[in-house]
Amino acid sequence: MPSAWTTRAIDTWEAELRDVLVDAFNEHSGQEKQLPETVRLDEYPKKVIDRALDNASAHPYIIESHLTKEGAPFISVMGFVYMDGKVSIVSRRNGLKIKRLQEDPRWCVTYHNNRQRPTELGCITLAGHAAVIDDQEKVAEANRLLSYKVYRDGDEDVEFREPMIESMDDANRVLIVLDRVEAVYMVTPMVPGLPPGIPTPPIAWRAPS
């Protein structure tokens, strides 16, 4: 694992995601105060996603949503890694989400910087189809990547990293991968100093039908 994965305070993660969006898109100036039009992208924003979710800088958790047998969304927070350009999480092989995703692979994940001020907000949602992969070499790689994200070089409790890896390896998990992305939604960063309550246009991409 790269030694550059050093300890990162939460405010660093929060700033990182907004900075990624600011570098890629124009900040919303607040001039369109009533139902601003969606910013529609012609191509999948791979560079933005790659940078935002890079393991060396992203925080360890993502919000995932799959469907229950009744078709309702079930939402949970999971540790995640970014492998081969895809969001990936490790899960107990007997977890109910595994059965549900095998029955209906539609899957949605949201990476959020959890800032309460609109001008500091950063959020990316990816929707598509998941694949459940029972490849123990890939699972072991994901276990290590996630453990290095949780316990980074320089953390006061970094000695818990190896026990985390051992525990995860012993748990005999499988990998859930967002194998096909069909839609992306991102919050538009706001110009600092705008009054609260002004709606921002979403930035969106959808795969060709």
- Residue 59: count other Cβ atoms within 10 Å of its Cβ: 20
From the list 38, 57, 11, 27, the residue with the least C-alpha distance to 118 is 27
Summarised one tens digit per residue, pLDDT across range 78-109 is 999 999 999 999 999 998 999 999 999 999 99
Q: What are the residue boundaries of the structural domains of the chain, listed by start?
A: 10-28+35-190
- Domain 10-28+35-190, what architecture? Roll (2.30)
pLDDT at 78: 96
- Any residues with CB less than 8 A from the CB of 83 and at least 6 apart, and which? 138, 141, 142, 145, 177
pTM: predicted TM-score of the whole model, two decimal places: 0.90
Beta bridge partners of 206: 183
Q: Please give the chain's pLDDT, 209 residues, in tens.
A: 544 555 555 556 556 788 888 888 887 777 766 677 889 999 999 999 999 999 998 989 999 999 999 999 999 999 999 999 999 999 999 989 999 999 999 999 999 988 777 778 889 999 999 999 999 999 999 999 999 999 998 899 999 999 999 999 999 899 999 999 999 999 888 888 877 778 888 899 999 98
